[in-house]
Amino acid sequence: MSVKVALHAGHTGSVFGVSVSAAAPHLVATASDDETVRLWEDAEHAGAWRTTCSAPVADSAMCLNFSPDAALLAAGAAAGKLRVRSYHLLIRLFK
């Protein structure tokens, strides 16, 4: 069994959370202490991940998860805040 490993740069701080969409496995979200949530996409399913948007959060993003249908993304921050946003709205606002 071979495992493909890749390193992708984007955040300027530590990454605390990663969520792969179950409904759309080509979508990944990452949470960082650089006060952003980044959305990544492998549109061609070839391992060529790219950042589709970087959405600011009010504090260090600590964890996140997609809804089962990938329509929503919930992110928890260090200040005790939880934000739930539409995936498509994030793409339109912060692309």
Domains of the chain are 15-94 (2.40.10)
Contacts of 52 (CB under 8 A, 6+ apart): 39, 40, 41, 91, 95
Q: Could you tell me the pTM of the whole model?
A: 0.78
Q: What is the pLDDT of residues 28-71, one digit of tens each?
A: 898 888 888 888 888 776 666 777 777 777 778 888 999 998 88
Model confidence band, residue 92 (pLDDT cutoffs 50, 70, 90): low
Closest CA to 70 of 24, 26, 2: 24
Cα–Cα distance measured from residue 41 to residue 47, given in angstroms and rounded to the nearest whole number: 9
pLDDT at residue 17 tops 70? yes
Instruction: Tell how strand 61-66 and strand 50-56 pair up.
Output: unpaired
Model confidence band, residue 93 (pLDDT cutoffs 50, 70, 90): low
Give the pLDDT score at 67.
Answer: 92
Q: Could you tell me which residues are beta bridge partners of residue 64?
A: 75
Mean pLDDT on 25-30? 87
Contacts of 80 (CB under 8 A, 6+ apart): none
